[in-house]
């Protein structure tokens, strides 16, 4: 028998424990709010579960990626990928969107690339600059103090460069570049492409009781000592210490429950343990389930009061979905052949990168596409796993035997890799909606995606291909893999870069946006979103740092409004 | 908002922390397990006995033992390839790769029998070399051998990556990482000096 007492009401219910849920829990718990957080996946503790230092030969198939573990056997994502068992999604005819989810405490922050780039002043007002897309309702100066706070808490290394639309931050010292990175930097100098220390959320000095990096190069496996940023280690653990945060794992949010006054009363969810339906009540509801999952929850929250879903009187929930433009080139640099041995692991990511450098040419109308990209680099003597030294005939011409073996040793680590990460302009043809037929194994209707690149993105990918190949040849190298017009310049599939943003856009007008400038639903004032769904544009600056800064700002606003009795 | 620990103290603390981390302990346990003693007998999933003999010979022709390391078959590469082909069948939902490899092995034996009257594995070293030289150099190969050139490139890749990702193969490579480093200093100045010298030389 269930007790007939009135249900417990938390101050705040947060859906999701990744970058957006983590920052909200951290700020709100430290401010004294009693919180219940719902996480659709299981508990995760990197100190116990990270596969740090393990060798690929001790894993199945040399730790190769699979459908279930796309980033390899040792990747931190325990349950997740572009396909999650029992939790499908569909694509409309002609679309091929790929939706990555990480069902675990901390979500994608456990394995992500830790790239932490501030959006710049232009990035908040792109429409004003080139007439495409939309402006944000806030400006860089509104978010700058929160970028400061976010960087000071999570720890980001970098260097002050003073580059256009590439704001410097509160940086820890950057790690010295690897040999191959310095070679690439030289080539970039010739081509007048800036190549500067990267900006990653990895500690190069101890911070808030967390140790500095030990440079094993495998941040994607999660860090057992908490030397890189992840939501469980940096946001959730301190929030739980306050005693104000309760986390319910295996809790698959279904919908936002409205009260008779039209305000959010709580969230109903499926408890995955016994498939029972539960409801948790709160004075404030924060959705941070990830961009598309947040849109899905709102669209599934249908009632007579909200026939098209909660917070959707504008009809814009799910609309203007964006991902990042990706395209890659790899090359072989003879100058790196047969060098004396050295450890090139470093941090789990690049030590140098190339921020976008053609702002003025674009302003002058000299570029065939709008918006820019940055270049991420890789290569060198990385951990030998599945596929190591594959395709060697492109370098050595073929062969076998003792001579081949000797030559392979020489070319190991002489490869370099370039990936462009560029801005997509929001368009009418890219959105998600509820599939009229399909449900997941919990009985919750699933998303159906529509996705299309525009010429701006495709021409950007072309520019990436041409630029990367030019860098390789300038460094005296040979291009090993590239893509031409027949493959749309190697442009990534929608969702492949895992930077979905924009499905519950913020704005300054209730008719043209879902959320106001504090990421508060226009239709439901005690409902907020702190993941990447409020984004108006998707600058080439990877979303996570902006999620944590914007989520902090939203959380501060919630605290302020609660204190004033407005929620 | 800065309560950074003093750096000198923390470095020891880190190594201690890492040393005591369960993840490391688990990893160390895996590494230390008596692999040879406990190693189960590998049960083949793809190759039959005749194919297996060819695979063992072919792997060692591609990656033989030398002064630095053992041969591919000693590093368990035939087992790796057998397992990999089975894995790709399941993962890719088709057997394109497995068929390419099995078909190529059939061609190799067929060609060896046509020319030398015996299977490839039983052919004399000079005969094996004669056949491999036809398909091991994509640019030099005859157009009609194209399919077998592609087969051999795939087989070479499997052998090479299987070998250099094995414990023996990693030991052979100039790879010095996958461990905790107390201070990251960037590119070794001695290595950079070699690079810089090459940068100033005329294009190689």
Contacts of A339 in chain B (CB under 8 A): 174, 191, 194-195
A194 φ, ψ to 5°?
-65, 135
Contacts of B195 in chain A (CB under 8 A): 179, 182-183, 335-336, 339
Query: Tokens 């000592």, residue?
Result: A225
Q: Categorize the per-residue pLDDT at B201 as very low, low, confident or very high, splitting at 50, 70 and 90.
A: confident
Query: Among residues B188, B110, B3, B67, which one has the least CA distance to residue A176?
Result: B188
Per-domain residue ranges of chain B? 44-173
- Would you say A260 and A498 are in contact if contact means Cβ atoms under 8 Å apart? no
Contacts of A389 in chain B (CB under 8 A): 160-161, 164
State which residue of chain B sits closest to A151, comparing Cα positions: B1
- Do A339 and B180 lie within an 8 Å CB cutoff? no
Cα four-point dihedral sign A484, A375, A23, A135: negative
- Would you say A82 and A108 are in contact if contact means Cβ atoms under 8 Å apart? no
Rounded Cα gap, residues A282 and A38, in angstroms: 12
Return the higher-pLDDT residue of B36 and A117. A117
pLDDT for residue A4? 47
pLDDT for residue B203? 56
How far are the Cα atoms of A150, A232, A285, A366, A443 from residue A26, in angstroms, in the given order? 11, 10, 15, 45, 32
Summarize the confidence of residues A401-428 as an average pLDDT: 98
Rounded Cα gap, residues A78 and A291, in angstroms: 20
- Do A335 and B198 lie within an 8 Å CB cutoff? yes
pLDDT at A524 exceeding the cut of 70 = yes
Q: For A129-167, what is each residue's pLDDT tens digit?
A: 999 999 999 999 999 999 999 999 999 999 999 999 999
> Choosing among A388, A406, A408, A409, which should be mutated to test the B contact, i.e. which has the most B CBs within 10 A?
A388
Summarize the confidence of residues A12-25 as an average pLDDT: 98
Query: Which one of A49, A205, A388 has the shortest CB-CB distance to B165?
Result: A388
Pairing of strands A80-81, A101-102: antiparallel
Query: Tokens 């806030």, residue?
Result: A138
Q: Say how many CB pairs under 8 Å bridge A and B.
A: 235
A74 φ, ψ to 5°?
-90, 0
- Do A62 and B161 lie within an 8 Å CB cutoff? yes
Strand partners, A328: A419
- Do B180 and A216 lie within an 8 Å CB cutoff? yes
In angstroms, the separation between the Cα of residue B51 and the nearest Cα of chain A is 20
> Choosing among A403, A405, A416, A478, which should be mutated to test the B contact, i.e. which has the most B CBs within 10 A?
A405
Query: Which one of B136, B137, B190 has the shortest CB-CB distance to A340?
Result: B190
Query: Which one of B24, B84, B156 has the shortest CB-CB distance to A61?
Result: B84
Query: Which one of A179, A225, A392 has the shortest CB-CB distance to B17?
Result: A225
Catalogue all structural domains in chain A, each as residue range(s) with its CATH number: 9-157+198-213+224-324+430-452+499-567 (3.50.50.60), 175-197+326-422+454-490 (no CATH)
Rounded Cα gap, residues A429 and A433, in angstroms: 12
Rounded Cα gap, residues A542 and A565, in angstroms: 36
Summarize the confidence of residues A171-185 as an average pLDDT: 98
pLDDT for residue B40? 74
In angstroms, the separation between the Cα of residue A373 and the nearest Cα of chain B is 26
Strand ranges (E), A324-468: 325-332, 352-354, 373-379, 415-422, 431-439, 445-450
Query: Among residues A421, A497, A431, which one has the least CA distance to residue A460?
Result: A421
Strand partners, A36: A13, A246
> CB-based contacts of A507: which residues, under 8 Å, 6+ apart?
A134, A137, A513, A514, A515, A516, A517, A536
Q: Which two tokens stand for residue A317?
A: 């929930």
Query: Tokens 């390839």, residue?
Result: B81
pLDDT at B36 exceeding the cut of 90 = no
pLDDT for residue B202? 66
Rounded Cα gap, residues A350 and B104, in angstroms: 40
Report which secondary-structure segment, H or E, holds A123: helix A121-124
Q: For A238-250, what is each residue's pLDDT tens digit?
A: 999 999 999 999 9
Q: Which two tokens stand for residue A452?
A: 């299309």
> Choosing among B2, B79, B187, which should be mutated to test the A contact, i.e. which has the most A CBs within 10 A?
B187
Contacts of B136 in chain A (CB under 8 A): 398-400
Contacts of B187 in chain A (CB under 8 A): 176-179, 182, 342
| A420, A425, A429, A434: CA torsion to nearest 10 | 80
Residue B42: CB atoms within 10 A of its CB come to 12
- Do A339 and B194 lie within an 8 Å CB cutoff? yes
Q: Categorize the per-residue pLDDT at A323 as very low, low, confident or very high, splitting at 50, 70 and 90.
A: very high
Contacts of B91 in chain A (CB under 8 A): 66-67
State which residue of chain A sits closest to B22, comparing Cα positions: A48
Query: Which one of B7, B27, B165 has the shortest CB-CB distance to A62?
Result: B165
Query: Among residues A511, A506, A509, A512, which one has the least CA distance to residue A536?
Result: A506
pLDDT at B52 exceeding the cut of 60 = yes
Q: For B76-101, what is each residue's pLDDT tens digit?
A: 999 999 999 999 999 999 999 999 99
Contacts of A78 in chain B (CB under 8 A): none
In angstroms, the separation between the Cα of residue A114 and the nearest Cα of chain B is 18
- Do A225 and B14 lie within an 8 Å CB cutoff? yes
Q: Enter the pTM of the model.
A: 0.93
Query: Among residues A428, A43, A369, which one has the least CA distance to residue A237?
Result: A43
> Choosing among B128, B156, B194, which should be mutated to test the A contact, i.e. which has the most A CBs within 10 A?
B156
Summarize the confidence of residues A206-215 as an average pLDDT: 98
Tell me which DSSP letter residue A132 carries.
S
Q: For A30-72, what is each residue's pLDDT tens digit?
A: 999 999 999 999 999 999 999 999 999 999 999 999 999 999 9
pLDDT at A2 exceeding the cut of 70 = no
Cβ burial, residue A5 (10 Å; 0-12/13-18/19+): exposed
State which residue of chain B sits closest to A46, comparing Cα positions: B23
- Would you say A229 and A23 are in contact if contact means Cβ atoms under 8 Å apart? no
A109 φ, ψ to 5°?
-70, -15
% of residues, chain A, pLDDT over 70? 99
The number of CA neighbours under 13 Å toward the Cβ of A330 is: 15
- Would you say A84 and A101 are in contact if contact means Cβ atoms under 8 Å apart? yes
pLDDT for residue B39? 61
Rounded Cα gap, residues A456 and A461, in angstroms: 9
Query: Which one of A50, A215, A334 has the shortest CB-CB distance to B204?
Result: A334
Summarize the confidence of residues A470-488 as an average pLDDT: 97
- Do A61 and B87 lie within an 8 Å CB cutoff? yes
- Do A211 and B80 lie within an 8 Å CB cutoff? no
pLDDT at B16 exceeding the cut of 70 = no
Summarize the confidence of residues A480-491 as an average pLDDT: 96
pLDDT for residue A429? 98
**What is the ipTM metric for this complex?**
0.94
pLDDT for residue A496? 98
- Would you say A113 and A100 are in contact if contact means Cβ atoms under 8 Å apart? no
Strand partners, A222: none
% of residues, chain A, pLDDT over 90? 98
Element counts in chain A: helices (H) and strands (E):
13, 18
pLDDT at B14 exceeding the cut of 50 = no
- Do B177 and A383 lie within an 8 Å CB cutoff? yes
Strand partners, A90: A448
């Amino acid at each position: 028998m269930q007790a007939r007492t009135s249900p417990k009401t938390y101050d705040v219910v947060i859906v999701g424990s990744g970058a957006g849920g983590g920052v909200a829990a951290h700020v709100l718990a430290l401010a004294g709010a009693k919180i219940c957080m719902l996480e659709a996946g299981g508990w995760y503790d990197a100190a116990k579960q990270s596969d740090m230092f393990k060798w690929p030969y001790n894993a199945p198939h040399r730790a190769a990626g699979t459908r279930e573990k796309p980033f390899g056997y040792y990747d931190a994502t325990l349950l997740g990928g572009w396909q999650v068992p029992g939790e499908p999604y569909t694509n409309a005819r002609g679309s091929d969107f790929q939706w990555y989810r990480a069902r675990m405490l901390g979500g994608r922050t456990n394995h992500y690339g830790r790239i932490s780039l501030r959006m710049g002043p232009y990035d908040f007002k792109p429409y004003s600059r080139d007439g495409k897309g939309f402006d944000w309702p806030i400006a860089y100066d509104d978010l700058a103090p929160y970028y400061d706070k976010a960087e000071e808490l999570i720890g980001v290394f970098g260097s002050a460069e003073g580059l256009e639309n590439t704001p410097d931050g509160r940086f820890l010292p950057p790690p010295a570049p690897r040999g191959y990175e310095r070679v690439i930097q030289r080539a970039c100098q010739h081509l007048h492409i800036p190549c500067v220390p990267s900006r990653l959320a990895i500690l190069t000095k101890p911070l808030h009781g967390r140790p500095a990096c030990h440079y094993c190069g495998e941040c994607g496996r999660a860090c057992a000592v908490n030397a890189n940023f992840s939501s469980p280690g940096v946001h959730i653990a301190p929030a739980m210490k306050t005693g104000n945060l309760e986390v319910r794992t295996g809790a698959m949010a279904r919908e936002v429950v409205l009260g008779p006054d039209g305000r959010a009363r709580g969230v109903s969810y499926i408890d995955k343990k016994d498939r029972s339906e539960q409801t948790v009540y709160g004075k404030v509801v924060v959705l941070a389930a990830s961009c598309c999952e947040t849109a899905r929850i709102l669209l599934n929250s249908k009632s007579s009061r909200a026939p098209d879903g909660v917070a959707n009187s504008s009809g814009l929930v799910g609309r203007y979905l964006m991902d990042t433009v990706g395209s890659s080139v790899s090359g072989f640099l003879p100058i790196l052949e047969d060098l004396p041995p050295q450890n090139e692991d470093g941090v789990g990511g690049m030590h140098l990168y190339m921020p976008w450098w053609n702002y003025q040419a674009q302003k002058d109308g000299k570029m065939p596409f709008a918006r820019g990209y940055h270049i991420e680099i890789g290569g060198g003597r990385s951990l030998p796993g599945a596929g190591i030294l594959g395709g060697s005939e492109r370098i050595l011409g073929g062969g076998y035997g003792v001579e081949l073996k000797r030559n392979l040793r020489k070319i190991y680590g002489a490869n370099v890799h370039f990936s462009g990460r560029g801005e997509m302009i929001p368009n009418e043809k890219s959105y998600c909606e509820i599939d009229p037929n399909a449900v997941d194994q919990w009985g919750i209707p699933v998303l159906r995606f529509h996705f299309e690149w525009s010429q701006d993105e495709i021409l950007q990918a072309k520019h990436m291909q041409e630029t990367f190949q030019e860098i390789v040849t300038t460094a005296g190298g040979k291009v090993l893999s590239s893509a031409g017009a027949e493959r749309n310049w190697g442009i990534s599939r929608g969702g492949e870069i895992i930077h979905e943003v924009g499905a519950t856009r913020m704005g300054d007008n209730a008719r043209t946006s879902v959320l106001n400038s504090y990421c508060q639903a226009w239709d439901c004032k005690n409902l907020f979103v702190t993941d990447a769904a409020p984004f108006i544009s998707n600058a080439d600056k990877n979303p996570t740092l902006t999620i944590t800064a914007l989520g902090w700002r939203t959380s501060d606003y919630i605290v302020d409004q609660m204190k004033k009795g407005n929620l | 908002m800065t309560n950074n620990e003093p750096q000198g103290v923390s470095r020891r603390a880190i190594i201690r922390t890492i040393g005591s981390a369960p993840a490391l302990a688990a990893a160390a346990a895996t590494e230390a397990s008596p692999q040879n003693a406990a190693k189960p007998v590998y049960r083949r999933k793809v190759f039959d006995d005749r194919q297996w003999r060819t695979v063992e010979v072919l792997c060692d022709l591609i990656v033989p033992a030398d002064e630095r390391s053992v041969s591919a078959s000693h590093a368990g590469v035939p087992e790796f390839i057998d397992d990999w082909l089975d894995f790709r069948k399941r993962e890719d939902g088709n057997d394109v790769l497995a068929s390419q490899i099995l078909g190529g092995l059939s061609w190799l034996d067929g060609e060896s029998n046509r020319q030398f009257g015996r299977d490839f594995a039983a052919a004399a070293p000079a005969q094996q070399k004669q056949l491999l030289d036809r398909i091991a150099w994509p640019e030099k190969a005859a157009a009609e051998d194209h399919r077998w050139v592609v087969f051999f490139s795939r087989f070479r890749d499997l052998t090479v990556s299987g070998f250099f990702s094995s414990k023996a193969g990693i030991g052979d490579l100039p790879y010095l990482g996958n461990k905790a480093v107390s201070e990251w200093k960037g590119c070794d100045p001695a290595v950079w000096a070699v690079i810089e010298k090459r940068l100033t030389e005329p294009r190689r």
